[in-house]
Amino acid sequence: MWIAALLAVTFLGACVTFLAPDRYAGKVATAISAVPAVGSLYMYWVYLTQYETTGNALLGGDAAFAQTVEWFEIAGFSVQYSVGLDGVSMPLLTLTAVLTTLALISSWTPIDDRQSQFYGLMLLMETSLIGVFAALDFLLWFVFWEGVLIPMYFLIGVWGGPRRKYAAIKFFVYTNVASLIMFVGFFALLFGLGDSISSLGLAEITAALTGGELSALAGIEPATLKVLAFVAMFFGFAVKVPVFPLHTWLPDAHVEAPTPVSVMLAGVLLKMGTYALLRFNFTMLGDVARGELVAWMPYAIAAIGVLSVIYGAMLALAQRDLKRIVAYSSISSMGYVILGLVAFTPHGMGGATFQMISHGLISGLMFMAVGVIYNTTHTRMVGDMSGLADRMPWTVGIFVSAAFGYMGLPLMSGFAAEYLVFVGSFGAPTLGTAAPLFTAAAMFGIVIVAGYLLWAMQRSIFGPFRLETDYDVGPAPLHDVAPLAVLLLLVIALGVAPDLSYRMIQHAVNPILEVGGGV
């Protein structure tokens, strides 16, 4: 009932917010979103104390807070409202709930137009995001997955920057076409499984796939079918992540989106892609990902990951706009996740999942900090400002800390995540002798990250004060800085004690490594 309650509160809250007068919409929405935020933190604590060792929900694990209700039957498949959490989805769900509340608070300053619609859509998006991470039935999951697109499309298109229309359409078309390709790939598998499954429950499908129940479909052999479906699904999710070379929608969307939307986009939406990759490609079709059917598959995936790391970082290096820098750096960070996943080692996969959470917090923090700077200075160009540290010390202090987190400074969550990924990928059995090479190349990304972040901070934050706009620069209001502080605390907490998440992640991720293939 817990998850249903979260979904209900956010959805009904969205309806209430739509009807609320503009003046109060921000406060109303924030108050409403505090309920799932606190609720999910409580669930997190309950999970830590009671469910930690329940394993992977798709691989026979006993999902926490699970609830299954028969929904209806369609052409012989039963569709269920089936939700539950394991060590992978629990932290992501908490991240979503907490980040939404903070993003809503950070919207109070910049959003001054059609507020009730803005806040309503944000809550609607939260509903879908919670659903994505909690759903354990394919169709239910897909409903939420596509459901995220619609509020996002409006949030970028209506409240975005000057090129918002272009960015919104591009985002919508890219991710929707990707979803359809993924959908086709997944359905090829379902029909290949035929009568061996009776519902679209993810656990049942996983069991059938790993148990070798797949049969030929339309003259395509099971092994080929698996590979084709894997590629279609990988493509679909990779656009969402996004990885090089499918990333071009992301900078546009990020730069045009209003700050709180960027926070959600970088903090949670990108994780939908990696979460789905982990659940579908690496759990259900682990044998393809490990290269048991096609030998070059893990190398190709690792190459995509490493290329994303390097290429994203290089692009970030070339930017002059603070927000663009942060946007491109996300591509880079998501590359680590891909590399960690394909390593198929406990630390690799666990580190990758930990990186999803860590990046959610840090990138959210960075975007928020850039947003606060922009609200005050009305520019984001590195060349237009200098010496902000004197005028807005708190904001800048947090921004610098976040940047160090991004660079992987110890005692911050970024360090733990990247360290785990590298340890995991260094000895990756799937990559054989090339594993150290891939790892070394990816590690080089950190150097570039440090390069562009230090460069940007040096120019914009330190030195004598100078600003090429007409705005008076002073300390930001408390409600702008407070969410930053909360996020920074979380980043440090996870950096000092990674076990707060890492242990539960490991219990959920390790079963994946033990699954054999099966065709």
Partner 1 sequence: MVQLPTWAALGPSLVLGLTALVLFVVDSIDPDSENVGLLAGIAGLGTFTAAGTSVWYLISGTGLPTEQGGRGVVDLFAGQLIVDQMALFVGFIVASVAFLVVLASYDYLEGLAYQAEFYSLVMLAATGMTLLGASNSLATAFISLELASLPSFALVAFLKHNKGSVEAGLKYFLVGALSSGIMAYGISLVYAATGSLQFGAVAEALGDAPASVLGVGIMMLIGGVAYKTSSVPFHYWAPEAYEGAPAPISAFLSSASKAAAFVLGFRVFVTAFPIGTVAGTIDWVLVFQVLAVATMTLGNFAAATQERVKRMLAYSSIGHAGYVLIGLAALTSGADHSSVLGAGMAHLLVYGFMNTGAFLFIALAEYWDVGRTFEDYNGLGSEAPLACAAMTVFLFSLAGLPIGGGFWSKFYLLMATVNSGTWILGAALIVNSALSLFYYSRVVKAMWIEDPVDGGFDIDHYPVGLYTAIVSAAVITFGLLFGFGGVSAVAESAAGLLV
Q: Which residues bind partner 1 (CB under 8 A)?
A: 71-77, 79, 114, 117, 139, 142-143, 146-147, 149-150, 153-154, 157-158, 164-165, 168-169, 172-173, 176-177, 180, 183-184, 187, 191, 218
What is the DSSP secondary-structure string of 98-138? HHHHHHHHHTTTT--SSHHHHHHHHHHHHHHHHHHHHB-BH
We find the least distance from the C-beta atom of residue 360 to partner 1, in angstroms, to be: 25
CA 263 to the chain's CA centroid: 11
Nearer to partner 1, 77 or 394 (CB): 77
CB of 209 to partner 1, least distance (A): 18
Q: Name the residue nearer to partner 1 (CB basis): 147 or 518.
A: 147
- Bond before 36 cis per omega within 30 degrees: no
CB of 257 to partner 1, least distance (A): 13
Q: How far is the CB of 235 from partner 1 (least distance, A)?
A: 15
Q: Which is nearer to partner 1, 175 or 262 (CB)?
A: 175
Could you tell me the two tokens for 181? 């390709």
- As a whole number of angstroms, the distance between CA 128 and CA 254 comes to 20
**By C-alpha distance, which of 279, 351, 283 is closest to 134?**
279
What is the Cα–Cα distance from 327 to 305, expressed in whole angstroms?
Answer: 17
Q: What is the residue type of 318?
A: A
* Residue 6 CB, nearest approach to partner 1 (Å): 17
* Listed residue (27, 38, 516, 54) closest to 287, CA to CA: 516
d(CA 329, CA 490): 20
Q: Which is nearer to partner 1, 21 or 76 (CB)?
A: 76
Tokens of 375: 């609200």
Provide, rounded to whole angstroms, the least separation between the CB of residue 170 and partner 1: 12
Closest to partner 1 by CB, 27 vs 114, is: 114
How many residues would you count in the chain?
519
Question: Beta strand 64-74 with 77-85: parallel, antiparallel or unpaired?
Answer: antiparallel
Q: Which of 192, 335 has the CB closer to partner 1?
A: 192
Burial of 470 (0-12, 13-18, 19+ CB in 10 A): exposed
318: tokens are 């070339």
Nearer to partner 1, 176 or 224 (CB): 176
- Least Å from the CB of residue 304 to partner 1: 25
Q: Which has the closest alpha carbon to 111: 33, 29, 15?
A: 29
Smallest gap from residue 121 Cβ to partner 1 (A): 10
Both tokens of 190, joined, read 């379902």
For residue 232, the minimal CB distance to partner 1 (Å) is 12
Give whole-number Cα distances, 374 to 160, 371, 488, in Å. 14, 5, 19
- Write phi, then psi, for 217 (nearest 5 degrees): -135, 125
3-class state of residue 160 by DSSP: coil
∠ Cα 174 103 113 (to 5°): 80
Q: Smaller CB distance to partner 1: residue 168 or 473?
A: 168
Nearer Cβ to partner 1 (132/402): 132
CB atoms within 10 A of CB 471: 11
Q: Judged by CB, which is closer to partner 1: 182, or 509?
A: 182
* Buried/exposed 125-138: b ≥16 CB within 10 Å, e otherwise: bbbbbbbbbbbbbb
Minimum distance from CB of 368 to partner 1 (Å)?
A: 25
The least CB distance from residue 96 to partner 1, in Å, is 19
In degrees, rounded to 5, the angle at the alpha carbon of residue 128 between the alpha carbons of residues 126 and 133 is: 95
Residue (42 or 187) nearer to partner 1, CB: 187
Amino acid type, 413: S
Q: Shortest Cβ distance from residue 155 to partner 1 (Å)?
A: 11
Of 166 and 299, the one with the shorter C-beta distance to partner 1 is 166
Which H or E run includes 485?
Answer: helix 478-496
Residue 276: Cβ within 10 Å count: 22
Residue with Cβ nearer partner 1 (191 or 471): 191
The least distance separating partner 1 from the CB of residue 262, rounded to whole angstroms, comes to 18
